[in-house]
Amino acid sequence: MLLEPEQRVHLIERRQFPEDARRHFAGEVEVCSEHGFRVRGRLFVYDGSRGEFVRKRGARTRVIFFDNLMIVNLLPDSVDPDALRYEHDSEGALVVTDGSDFAMDINEFSGRE
């Protein structure tokens, strides 16, 4: 299997059109099959008026099918998906962080490796 139960993931939904909502999801895999997986966690939506990703209230469960519409980032086991938030680092790049040791640059156009 590509993913295993209890594996932690950060998902980026690919937009089909510029006006589509920018949605991210962070959580823990519950079940996985050859076609997709079920994950429980938190939804983040980009609020253009505030210029930031906002975490929606309450945990939710999503079924994600393996296709080219979702980018799946694997998170270290030490990361608590409930603790994730979005910040700009010292160089101005947008990162998702747990406020501790973990920070992942998610800005595709930052020019950094």
CA–CA dist 10, 7 (Å, integer): 10
Pairing of strands 94-97, 36-47: unpaired
Please write the tens of the pLDDT for every residue from 48-83. Answer: 888 889 999 999 999 999 888 889 999 999 999 999
Q: What is the CA radius of gyration of the chain?
A: 14
Q: Report the candidate in 21, 70, 71 with the shortest Cα–Cα distance to residue 47.
A: 21
CA–CA dist 45, 25 (Å, integer): 9
Please write the tens of the pLDDT for every residue from 25-45. Answer: 999 999 999 999 999 999 999
Domains of the chain, residue spans: 8-105
SS3 9: strand
The reply to whether the predicted model has a pTM over 0.85 is: yes
